[in-house]
Structure 1
């Protein structure tokens, strides 16, 4: 059980290996935005680079998977591993803000992300992407990635594309908004666990 008297480590290292994927992921929540990403899903690499920069997270991922079948398993397992890293890095959650919210424009698109590091997983995405793919990346995997991230990170993540026309812009705005909202949620705010229950688990 987590010692609620300890401050969070704000860093974690996750290794996950299955018959479909292998993921080695390191996350530092209070970093400089450095990203070292090596896995065979180019569009997700691009999005997670933006995620690291706009969240000011240091993120290293080395991963392989059965992308000859499709990208689904690897995208899902990277999201899952990132969620586990977030949960581990937050530890007791003592001294964090807990909540974060950001509206982010990307040219004609506006996206919103709202985060509660509650210890209770929830995920909502309101978005209608005009295109089924961006390059070779299926846009239905955006929801799969964020759902895995939220559920294994044990936090509430509400995402919405308020308006827009370009699918790439919509997805990019979502990743940037999520990163900025998380940056706010993990930022320093006193030295207590931000809950009337005294615990966020």
Structure 2
């Protein structure tokens, strides 16, 4: 869901999920890992995990995030926009939430969504290994490093809890939170599933 180099023939579409919350942690991973002392002040003592959980809630509750998610889902439902490749800066938080929404719309259980969400951790750890190594070598906290680089069940749960608390579940979130037309939801369900 972030901008990057486009492949030949591809159309770049930017859905800025955190546009109304500039400077939040998921968009600044490399900067957070560049200064261990600052990271400790801002993220130490369990604050990193809490910050990420709150960011996930905001990806559900903020109007800007809702508009970005709606635009993404409308694009994903458009057969002319296929194939669809989506990503964010780290490929775990905004991308993970977008994938979770798609899977939930398709009818996947929350347990299956959680397993898919957590499956990104090995790839993200590998991608950020040089930054984490430098952070730790400079005296950074391993707890902070893992909280900002990994996805955790608590992060996804924070988003899902916000969906349940505000809209009573996925259907209410999609209909009232994202204001996604029923025709788009149905097209996604048809396109994302195969009859059994």
TM range (shorter): 0.3 to 0.5
TM-score with structure 1 setting the length: 0.35
Structure showing the higher helix proportion among its residues: 2
Structure showing the higher strand proportion among its residues: 1
TM-score with structure 2 setting the length: 0.35
Structure number, greater radius of gyration: 2
